[in-house]
């Protein structure tokens, strides 16, 4: 059976002290009441990583970053490499979030380079992609998603694919309050799993976690996660409220 995952993306929120307090309280909850079938991941800003790694060391909650540099090391002022992220104790890194794609012009080729560096550094990558509103309205969303996967991810050899978590995040649903219907999510997730199967075979497709992201909250999580190809969620806004985040984990 493939893994169910709920990953919280804190984005650029919380001071160091606030973040550590929040992580402590989430970790304590899942130590007392384990998340059952779901793997819980906190994807924090870089500054929180070492402190949160220490807090979650019992292993009930995993840790990830939200981005990594596109180079391995060297004179790249202000950047943080995948290797540096790994050295904090984190296990995951988000690659290709729509905010990175749109505000920082990250394209599929660059994201592919980051993904390779992340895996070479011993991290697992949560690879994000999805269409914008105009593409959905024009009916080109399947074509867009296929291109993002072909160029960003499908250059990897099959042996590396067990270190990948796929996150379908329709851009029109991120932080907007608009959510894909469970049927829209299932339709796209099924299509994505089909693409993975075509490229890497049935075993790989069957084990690949495919997360949904986009205004997922306690009121819609259970219905979204009830779909057979939706293996959990990447949660933005609702991951900043402990009760909401826990309710979403429990919906899995
Ligand atoms: C995200 O940032 O990945 C996300 C899905 O955000 P939100 O849940 O706020 O839409």
- For the domain that residue 36 is a member of, what is the CATH number? 3.20.20.70
Q: Tell which one of 7, 132, 171, 215 to mutate to probe ligand 1, the residue whose CB is within 8 A of the most ligand atoms.
A: 215
Closest atom, ligand 1, to C-alpha of 176: 10
Q: 77 falls in which pLDDT band (50, 70, 90)?
A: very high
Domain that holds residue 239: 4-251
Give, in order, the Cα–Cα distances in Å from 20 to each of 24, 53, 60, 230.
6, 10, 16, 30
DSSP H helices in 56-181: 82-87, 98-103, 108-120, 133-138, 141-152
Q: Tell me how far the alpha carbon of residue 99 lies from the centroid of ligand 1, in angstroms.
A: 10
Which of 27-36, 67-76, 230-239 is predicted with the least confidence, judged by mean pLDDT? 27-36
* Residues within 6 Å of ligand 1 by CB: 9, 97, 169, 174-175, 213-216, 234-238
Q: pLDDT digit string (tens) for 91-145?
A: 999 999 999 999 999 999 999 999 999 999 999 999 999 999 999 999 999 999 9
Tell me phi and psi for residue 70, to 5 degrees: -95, 5
Give CA–CA dist 92/42, Å, rounded.
9
Give CA–CA dist 202/41, Å, rounded.
26
Q: pLDDT digit string (tens) for 151-188?
A: 999 999 999 999 999 999 999 999 888 899 999 999 99
Give CA–CA dist 236/168, Å, rounded.
13
Closest atom, ligand 1, to C-alpha of 217: 8
How many distinct structural domains can be found in the chain? 1
Pair 252, 4: CB distance under 8 Å: yes
Give CA–CA dist 129/182, Å, rounded.
18
Q: pLDDT digit string (tens) for 220-243?
A: 999 999 999 999 999 999 999 999
Query: Which helix or strand (DSSP H or E) is residue 43 part of?
Result: strand 38-43
Mean per-residue pLDDT, 77-91: 98
């Amino acid at each position: 059976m493939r893994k169910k995952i709920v990953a919280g993306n804190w984005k650029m929120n919380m001071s160091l002290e606030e973040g550590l307090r929040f992580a402590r309280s989430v970790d304590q909850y899942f130590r007392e009441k384990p998340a059952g079938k779901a793997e819980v991941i906190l994807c924090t800003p870089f500054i929180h990583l070492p402190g949160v790694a220490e807090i979650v060391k019992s292993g009930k909650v995993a840790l990830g970053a939200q981005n990594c540099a596109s180079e391995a090391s060297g004179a790249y002022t202000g950047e943080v490499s995948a290797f540096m992220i790994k050295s904090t104790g984190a296990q995951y890194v988000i690659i290709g979030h729509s905010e990175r794609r749109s505000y920082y012009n990250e394209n599929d080729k660059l994201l592919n380079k980051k993904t390779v560096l992340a895996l070479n550094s011993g991290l697992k990558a949560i690879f994000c992609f999805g269409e914008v509103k105009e593409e959905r309205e024009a009916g080109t969303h399947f074509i867009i998603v296929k291109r993002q996967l072909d160029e960003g991810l499908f250059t990897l050899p099959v042996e590396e694919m067990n270190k990948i978590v796929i996150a379908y995040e329709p851009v029109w649903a991120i932080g907007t309050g608009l959510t894909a219907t469970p049927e829209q999510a299932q339709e796209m997730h099924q299509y994505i799993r089909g693409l993975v199967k075509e490229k890497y075979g049935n075993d790989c497709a069957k084990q690949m976690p495919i997360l949904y992201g986009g205004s997922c909250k306690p009121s819609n999580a259970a219905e979204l996660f009830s779909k057979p190809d939706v293996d959990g969620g990447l949660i933005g806004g609702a991951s900043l409220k402990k009760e909401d985040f826990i309710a979403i984990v429990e919906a899995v």
